[in-house]
Amino acid sequence: MFKIGFIKMGNIASSLVVDLALDEIAERTDLEMRILSSGPKMTKKEAEASDDLKSWNPQLIIVIGPNAATPGQTAVRALLKGLPTIVISDGPTKKEARDVIAADGFGYIILPMDPLIGAKREFLDSAEMALFNSDALQVLSICGAVRLVQEEIDRAIISLTKGDVMLPQMLVTPEICADRMDFKNPYAKAKAIGALYMAQTVANIDAQACFKLKELEAIALTAATGHEVMRAAANLADEAREIEKGADAVSRKPHSRSGELMRKIGLFEKPERI
């Protein structure tokens, strides 16, 4: 039984499904999971709880949350040195931070299309927060980012069970994501890539509202703009999915009970091992 631990500090949309994507119908017999979450908080204080997960002796740890260069995430990695670990984060993780993560022996998957939310009291409440994450997750799921994360973690698990350590080091692009979904219709793929680029733009818009603007009206309007772009990206992603559904060409890759990936295209096809 392979033991994998998840440390969720703060939240990006991928945080909501990163563990579930590895066992989508809860039937894998080769995998055991533990999740340590600090909710929306991501300070050094929350990082100290990582020792609780380490005592479970996981063979792989996934650390996921916004901006991996923040003090909380940096403190978590300091506690995890020497353990196979993959950091999953969003666009603000710059090259210098990625180089430090790699130099410390960690893998990473940076998803610029998993964007910063408009986290300002002048705009955001619980309903708006949930809607934004729903829209973002629709883009990430339809357009390939969720599958990419799932496949890279699966590859890491396989390498570790064979006594090797092969952890991803990826700055992900929209094109890389879309390739993972095996779109059959080029217009569907173009819509998916477009949706991912729109999602990346959301981070730049919301960063203005979160960190630069000072006046209430400017903050609220800019944050609302970012969220409207995210909603439009979700609608575009949905159009891509509908094109594939219309041709009975949706790519599906479920896990078998023993953990191997399977695949099917037609709705009535039986999944086969890859």
Q: With contact defined as beta carbons under 8 Å apart, do 21 and 150 qualify?
A: yes
165: its two tokens: 């350590």
87: which strand partners? 63, 108
What are 262's strand-pairing partners? 273
Residue 242, pLDDT score: 98
Cβ atoms of 145 and 14 closer than 8 Å: yes
Residue 172's nearest CA partner among 98, 83, 268, 269 is 98
Position 95 scores a pLDDT of: 84
Q: Residue 164's pLDDT is what?
A: 87
Residue 211 is predicted with a pLDDT of 96
Q: How far is CA 171 from the centre of its chain?
A: 12
pLDDT at residue 243, rounded to an integer? 98
Supply the pLDDT for residue 11: 96
| Per-residue model confidence (pLDDT) at position 92 | 64
Q: Which residues of the chain have pLDDT under 50?
A: none
Burial of 142 per CB tally in 10 Å (0-12, 13-18, 19+):
buried
Q: Which residues of 176-194 are buried (b: 16+ CB within 10 A; e: fewer)?
A: ebbbbbbbeeeebbebbbb
3-state secondary structure the chain: CEEEEEEECCCCHHHHCCCHHHCCCCCCCCEEEEEEECCCCCCHHHHCCHHHHHCCCCCEEEEECCCCCCHHHHHHHHHHCCCCEEEEEECCCCHHHHHHHHHCCCEEEEECCCCCCCCCCCCCCHHHHHHHHHHHHHHHHHCCHHHHHHHHHHHHHHHHHCCCCCCCEEECCHHHHHHCCCCCCHHHHHHHHHHHHHHHHHHHHHHHHHHHCCCHHHHHHHHHHHHHHHHHHHHHHHHHHHHHHHCCCCCECCECCCCCEEEECCCCCCCEEC
Question: What is the pLDDT at residue 91?
Answer: 77
264: β partners:
252
φ, ψ of residue 87 in degrees (nearest 5): -95, 125
Give the tens place of pLDDT for each residue, 67-123: 998 899 999 999 999 999 999 999 766 788 899 899 999 999 999 999 999 999 999
Using alpha carbons, list the distances in angstroms from residue 101 to 56, 69, 89.
23, 9, 12
